[in-house]
Chains A and B, each alone.
Chain A
Amino acid sequence: MSDRLPVKKTYKLFIGGTFPRSESGRTYEAEGQNVARASRKDVRDAVRAARAAQPGWAAATAYNRGQVLYRLAEMVEARVPEFAELCSGRDEVERSIDRIVWYAGWADKLPQVLGGSNPVAGPYFNFTVPEPTGVVAVLAPEEPALLGLVTRVLPPLVGGNAVVAVASDQRPLAAVELAEAIATSDVPAGVVNLLTGFCAELGPILASHMDVNALDIAGADGDAAELERLAAENVKRVVHGRADAQSPWEIASFLELKTVWHPIGR
């Protein structure tokens, strides 16, 4: 037994691929740790980072996006004991990993399942493809701390969106750990941004942000109606995400459908 004093971790935000403290200098205590308490300015920075990163992520090939997300599963798998301490246990971590792998496999299958060609009555080639809606804000469910976050972040992510997620208020450490796994996977900087803090404070800021295209209010506690009202200002797509859902339709909620026409002729 060494009497060496361990080096403790500072729990910070994850914005644009870096780990800043809240610009407000605020922290709050959760799970026995001082955790960054994100502010309005942090939200704005995160949205800006997400907006900047989104086109590149969407332009990556579907095969590449699938591999990057699979790589994320590898990174979480490598930290199973650490994650297990920060959520309900090993089972939750394993289910989270399996869910990441499941969604990773969807990246290159969506256009065929959700789109297709349309037999219009005329000499036109007409097809419909799904495209990302843009920047998606996710209010992660309070519980389960890790699986809930993974469940809500992966669907917009695999579809080519960039995400700004607010972690569970009282169980934020799993989210910070996940941020570290993301940072060491090949997910481009800014594609996922994770904020810790108070959902009740950050939710309305994200809901009314004019550069956010969709809002998942899975973790909104009782103030869903107000968030929906704020979201109408720029016609956000509002999703009432469930903490345990897993289906391609979860991905589809964060996709737009684009239909292209072209004449057919000699």
Chain B
Amino acid sequence: MTELDRTGDRSPVPADWTYAPAPESRDIVRLRERYGLFVGGEWLEPSETYETISPASEEPLAIVAQATAEDVDRAVGAAREAFANGWSSLPGSERAKYLFRIARILQERAREFAVLESLNGGKPIKESRDVDLPLAAAHFFYYAGWADKLEYAFPNRRPKPVGVAGQIIPWNFPLLMLAWKIAPALACGNTVVLKPAETTPLTALLFCDVLRQAELPAGVVNIVTGDGRTGAALVEHEGVDKIAFTGSTEVGKAIQRQLAGSGKKLTLELGGKAANIVFDDCALDQAVEGIVNGIYFNQGHVCCAGSRLFVQESICEPVVDKLKRRLETLRVGDPLDKNTDVGAINSAMQLEKIRELVDSGREEGAEIYQPPCRLPEKGYWFAPTVFTNVAQSYRIAQEEIFGPVLSVLTFRTPEEAVEKANNTPYGLSAGVWTEKGSRILWMAQQLRAGVVWANTYNRFDPTSPFGGYKESGFGREGGLHGLEPYLRFDE
């Protein structure tokens, strides 16, 4: 029997937490040496390229295209042609069947995609396998069903496709964000030019093979990889009727400015600094799990991450103690290891940003805690971090860190919790932990956020609308509401 540690007030835990390595095999993924641009159903040779790497090892994975304005122009042209030549006039029931096919193929090839997602993005295989892939497939399945039912979703409005949708997605959930963007766009009869994030292009490029297998007509989906310049070219392009962007608030504002007066439809899903609020009557252990899931899920690279923890003053000490102990059990390391809880930081640039903000937290006077953990030498890593003694004015309580860094603040009354939680320009999500039903509903009403998780956190579903208040953006993705951005109405 394992020796148990019974020191202090701790409940019994095994003294030795060492796990044997359990790496998922990489063999299932066959990468090409280089990828071009997926335009009009074909691979075009790019004029400029860059190397995409694994953030966990810094090893190069493939050469991919840095799409130029000309490349974007070709992609938009292909999308426009596909829109005019059949896709927009295809009966909804036929469009639906393509989307159902895509959903099924994603399910069939889920393991391959999950491994590649972890390889290119650094997220734990446990998450890409159990969250990203099932949700991506479910998203296509859900919107497939809407394709021939739009009239029922919008009675008396005569819904019509918008045209060509330009879609720009982030690096935190590369394939899932692709699904969030492409599935509703296609269901509504639009064609798409999608730009994956600079650091995570590979699952989007592998997705082109799914499109081939699904026999989706050429040009309905076009994928152009590249950095912000590619995105800007897409936003600017006159042949694009709608822009959907998920990313930082700063870039979102720039896009909104750029599109001023253009008449293009726009949806923005931007940053967040969510409050996760824990009351003294909560189920404490569940709340601690929820706090951990809220901020360390996907290395904290989550726009709706519960990055500001508000604990009712009377239970602050036990919560922080439990949290620190829980942190000691988090396994940080190889994203492909099935036991890994926290993977690699997505890029050197993001790591730099996290470090800079964490340094500011120290300098402003917050108290830092990081559990002892050995970080790999190569790659980009950051230990799970908790800041206590945080004032509302500190940068770590105001700015989105987008990393595994939690700021702990306290409150006394529900009113104070609401006041502090809402004191941010963001309004994407929030969490509430209490066993009191009426308080949950009151808090849910008061919090200015698009998603409120009560006694849970970071749950997603294709049927559940997601999107922000205030500077976290506008428009919803998911659910019936997620169709509207991709339709115009002849009212």
Contacts and interface: CB of A to CB of B under 8 A. Distances in A.
B465 A257 contact: yes
Interface stretch (B232-240, B250-258, B374-382): B250-258
A contact residues, range: 20 to 34
Q: Which of A133, A227, A235 has the most CB of B within 10 A?
A: A235
A235 B461 contact: no
Interface string A225-252: 1111101111101000000000101000
Given A235-B474, A258-B444, A118 B464 contact: yes
A233 B260 CA distance: 12
A224 B476 CA distance: 25
B449 interface: yes
Given A121-B461, A232-B253, A237 B456 contact: no
Contacts of B256: 228, 231-232, 235
A121 B461 CA distance: 7
Contacts of A116: 480
B249 A235 contact: yes
Given A122-B461, A262-B456, A235 B479 contact: no
A23 to B, nearest CB: 28
A124 interface: yes
Interface in B432-491: 440, 444, 449-456, 459, 461, 463-467, 469-474, 476, 479-481, 489, 491
A249 B157 contact: yes
A91 interface: no
B261 interface: yes
Contacts, number: 106
A63 interface: no
B466 A259 contact: yes
B138 interface: yes
Contacts of B454: 260-262
Contacts of A227: 260
A232 B474 contact: no
A221 to B, nearest CB: 13
Given A118-B479, A262-B454, A235 B444 contact: no
Given A225-B261, A235-B249, A126 B469 contact: no
A229 B425 contact: no
A207 to B, nearest CB: 10
Given A118-B461, A235-B270, A260 B444 contact: yes
A166 B259 CA distance: 25
A225 B461 contact: no
B72 interface: no
Interface string A19-59: 00000000000000000000000000000000000000000
Contacts of A126: 461, 463-464
B268 interface: yes
Contacts of B138: 121
Nearest to B142: A121
A261 B464 contact: yes
A262 B432 CA distance: 10
A228 B260 contact: yes
Q: Which of A118, A122, A231 has the most CB of B within 10 A?
A: A118
A5 interface: no
Contacts of B444: 258, 260
Contacts of B473: 235
A64 interface: no
B257 A120 contact: no
A224 B469 contact: no
A122 B459 contact: yes
Given A258-B451, A262-B455, A263-B456, 18 more contacts: A118-B463, A118-B465, A120-B459, A122-B459, A122-B461, A124-B459, A128-B465, A128-B479, A225-B260, A228-B256, A231-B260, A232-B260, A234-B470, A234-B471, A235-B268, A235-B474, A259-B452, A261-B454
18 contacts: A118-B463, A120-B459, A120-B461, A126-B464, A133-B469, A228-B257, A228-B261, A234-B470, A234-B471, A235-B270, A249-B491, A257-B476, A258-B451, A259-B450, A259-B465, A260-B452, A262-B455, A263-B455
The 4 closest A-B pairs by CB, nearest first: A225-B261, A228-B260, A232-B256, A120-B461
Interface of B: 138, 157, 249, 252-254, 256-257, 259-261, 268, 270, 425, 440, 444, 449-456, 459, 461, 463-467, 469-474, 476, 479-481, 489, 491
